[in-house]
C-alpha cells in the first residue's frame, strides 16, 4: 500500500481528488494512460492520467510543515525554494519561514547570522556537501529537517557506486539547477564528473570519446560543468550516465545511448561492459509516469492544452515542451493568469518571459487537455478548471460533470 503523507488540507482538491480516487480504484496497476474526460457540455477537459504532487514533493511538504509545528518561536529557514511552486513557497513564507538563498545559489541572508538554535530545512532538490558542512560548522544539523527526494538520493548513491568502480559520471541536467548542483557535489567525491545539458552536448562528448576532437579542447568547451580532475584521455574510457530527475526521461535515455554507441564504436561491442555502466534504474518513476501520461494525452487530441505549475519548474517545462508539439499550449502558474475569455497570460519557454495571448478560447464546443507539474497542488488545477468553466456559457454543474467518477 502506498504511503500517505500528512499534507495540509488546503492542498487537497475536490475535482481532481474525485477523479484520481476513481482512477486508482479502476486502474490500481496504473496501466491505463488514457486521460479522464471531465465533461461540462460545451467545454470538456481531458485530464492526464498522472500529474501533480509526487512522492518526493509530498514528503518534502510533510517535513516542512512539521518543522514549523515543532519549533514555535524559533527562526526557521529554507536553504532555497523547497519546491518550484509559488503557492507552496509563498505559504511557507507567510508562516515566517525565510529563504537563505535564491534558486541560483545567491545568498539572501549571511550564514554568519545563523546559530545552533536555528532550524534550516533542506529542500527537495537536496543540497551540496559544502553547504551541509558549512551549516554543521555553525552547530546546525542539516539532516534533521532534510526534505531531499529519495529518488535524488538514489542518484547520489548510484554516482558514488560508479566512482568506486572507476567510472566517470555523466549527469544529464542543467548545471545551474539546485538538484544538479547537489548531485555534482556528491558525485565528485568519488568520480570525475561532467554535466551534459542536451543531445548536442552529448554529440560533442562523443567526438571527444572517438578522438575526433583533441583532448586539449575539452576544458574550454565544458568549463565549469566538469570537475577539475577530469582527464578526457583517461576518464572517457569508462562512463555511466545519471540524470537530474526532472529532465525528460526519453532525452536521458537518448543521451546514454549516444555515449554507449560512441564507446562501442571505439572499443567494440564485445568489450562494452567494461566501458559503459547500465544506469537505467536511476530514472525517477514519477517523472516517467507524468511524461508518459502527457504523451498519451497528446495522442488523444484536443483543441488546446493548459499546463499548470511554477515557471521555474524543470519537470513542468518538459510537459509543456511535449504538448507544444501537438497543440497550442498555455503554461500558467494559476487561475489568476486566465484574465477572461479573450486574454490569457502564460509563460513562453522560448522567450523565457510571461506573454499575453488574445482570443485563446477558440470556439465552443471546446476540448482542453490539462496537466500539471509534480510540484503543483491539485487545488491549483481545480481553480484553473473552475475559472475556465466560468467563462463558457452553458456549462453544467461540477456535480454533474463529476458523476462518472463518484466511487
- HSE on the CB side for 385, CA within 13 Å? 30
Give the rounded distance of the alpha carbon of 191 from its chain centre: 25
* pLDDT tens-place string over residues 66-108: 999 999 999 999 999 989 999 999 999 999 999 999 999 999 9
Ramachandran category for residue 171: left, alpha or beta (phi over 0 → left; psi -120 to 50 → alpha): beta
What does the pLDDT look like over 123-176, one tens digit per residue? 999 999 999 999 999 999 999 999 999 999 999 999 999 999 999 999 999 999
Check whether 353 has a pLDDT greater than 80: yes
Do residues 57 and 70 make contact, with C-beta atoms less than 8 angstroms apart?
no
Domain spanning 55-137: which CATH class is it, in words?
alpha beta
* Domain residue ranges in the chain: 9-54+285-405, 55-137, 150-282
Residue 407: pLDDT band (50, 70, 90) is low
Q: Using a pLDDT cut of 70, give the percent of the chain over it.
A: 99
Which pLDDT score is estimated for 143? 92
Mean pLDDT of the region 242-268? 94
Annotated catalytic residues are 179
User: Per CATH, the architecture of 150-282 is what?
Assistant: 3-Layer(aba) Sandwich (3.40)
Q: DSSP assignment, residue 123?
A: P
Q: Is the pLDDT of residue 1 over 50?
A: no
Same fold yes or no, 9-54+285-405 and 150-282: yes
Answer whether residue 283 shows pLDDT above 80: no
> Is residue 4 over pLDDT 90?
no
**From CA 150, how far away is CA 232, in angstroms rounded?**
31
Q: Which long-range contacts (CB under 8 A, 24 or more apart) does 326-331 make?
A: 326/298, 326/301, 327/298, 327/301, 327/302, 327/303, 327/369, 328/303, 328/304, 328/360, 329/304, 329/305, 330/304, 330/305, 330/306, 330/357, 330/360, 331/307
Q: Which three cell numbers stand for residue 112?
A: 554568519
Pick the CATH number of 9-54+285-405 from 3.40.190.10, 1.10.3720.10, 3.40.50.150, 3.40.1010.20: 3.40.1010.20
pLDDT tens figures, 91-101: 999 999 999 99
List the end-to-end C-alpha distance of the chain, in Å, as a whole number.
19
Q: Quote the distance between the C-alpha of residue 179 and its chain's center.
A: 9
Residue pair 195/180 in contact by the 8 Å Cβ criterion: yes
- State the Cα–Cα distance between residues 251 and 318, nearest whole angstrom: 10
**pLDDT digits 0-9 by tens, 314-348:** 999 999 999 999 999 999 999 999 999 999 999 99
The DSSP code sequence of 106-117 is -BSS-GGG--TT
Amino acid at each position: 500500500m502506498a504511503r500517505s503523507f500528512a499534507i495540509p488540507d488546503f492542498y487537497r482538491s475536490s475535482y481532481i481528488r474525485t477523479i484520481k480516487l476513481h482512477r486508482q480504484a479502476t486502474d490500481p496497476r496504473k496501466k491505463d494512460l488514457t486521460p479522464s474526460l471531465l465533461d461540462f457540455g460545451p467545454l470538456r477537459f481531458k485530464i492526464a492520467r498522472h500529474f501533480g504532487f509526487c512522492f518526493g514533493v509530498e514528503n518534502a511538504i510533510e517535513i516542512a510543515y512539521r518543522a514549523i509545528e515543532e519549533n514555535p518561536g524559533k527562526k526557521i529557514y529554507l536553504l532555497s525554494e523547497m519546491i518550484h511552486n509559488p503557492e507552496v513557497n509563498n505559504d511557507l513564507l507567510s508562516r515566517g519561514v525565510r529563504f537563505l538563498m535564491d534558486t541560483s545559489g545567491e545568498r539572501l541572508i549571511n550564514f554568519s547570522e545563523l546559530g545552533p538554535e536555528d532550524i534550516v530545512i533542506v529542500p527537495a532538490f537536496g543540497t551540496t556537501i559544502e553547504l551541509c558542512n558549512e551549516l554543521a560548522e555553525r552547530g546546525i544539523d542539516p539532516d534533521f529537517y532534510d526534505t531531499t527526494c529519495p529518488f535524488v538520493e538514489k542518484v547520489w548513491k548510484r554516482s558514488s557506486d560508479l566512482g568506486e568502480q572507476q567510472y566517470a559520471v555523466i549527469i544529464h541536467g542543467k548545471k545551474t539547477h539546485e538538484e544538479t548542483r547537489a548531485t555534482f557535489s556528491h558525485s565528485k567525491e568519488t568520480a570525475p564528473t561532467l554535466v551534459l545539458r542536451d543531445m548536442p552536448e552529448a554529440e560533442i562528448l562523443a567526438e571527444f570519446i572517438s578522438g575526433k576532437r583533441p583532448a586539449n579542447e575539452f576544458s574550454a568547451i565544458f568549463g565549469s560543468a566538469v570537475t577539475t580532475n577530469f582527464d578526457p584521455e583517461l576518464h572517457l574510457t569508462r562512463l555511466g550516465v545519471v540524470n537530474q530527475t526532472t529532465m525528460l526521461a526519453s532525452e536521458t535515455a537518448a543521451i546514454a545511448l549516444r555515449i554507449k554507441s560512441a564507446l562501442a564504436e571505439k572499443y567494440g561491442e564485445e568489450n562494452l561492459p567494461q566501458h559503459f555502466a547500465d544506469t537505467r534504474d536511476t530514472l525517477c518513476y514519477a517523472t516517467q509516469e507524468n511524461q508518459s501520461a502527457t504523451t498519451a494525452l497528446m495522442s488523444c487530441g484536443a483543441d488546446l492544452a493548459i499546463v499548470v505549475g511554477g515557471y521555474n519548474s524543470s519537470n513542468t517545462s518538459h510537459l509543456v515542451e511535449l504538448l507544444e508539439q501537438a497543440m497550442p499550449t498555455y503554461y500558467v502558474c494559476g487561475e489568476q493568469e486566465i484574465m477572461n475569455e479573450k486574454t490569457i497570460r502564460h509563460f513562453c519557454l522560448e522567450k523565457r518571459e510571461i506573454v499575453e495571448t488574445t482570443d485563446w478560447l477558440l470556439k465552443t464546443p471546446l476540448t482542453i487537455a490539462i496537466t500539471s507539474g509534480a510540484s503543483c497542488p491539485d487545488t491549483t488545477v481545480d481553480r484553473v478548471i473552475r475559472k475556465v468553466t466560468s467563462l463558457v456559457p452553458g456549462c453544467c454543474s461540477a456535480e454533474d460533470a463529476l458523476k462518472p467518477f463518484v466511487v
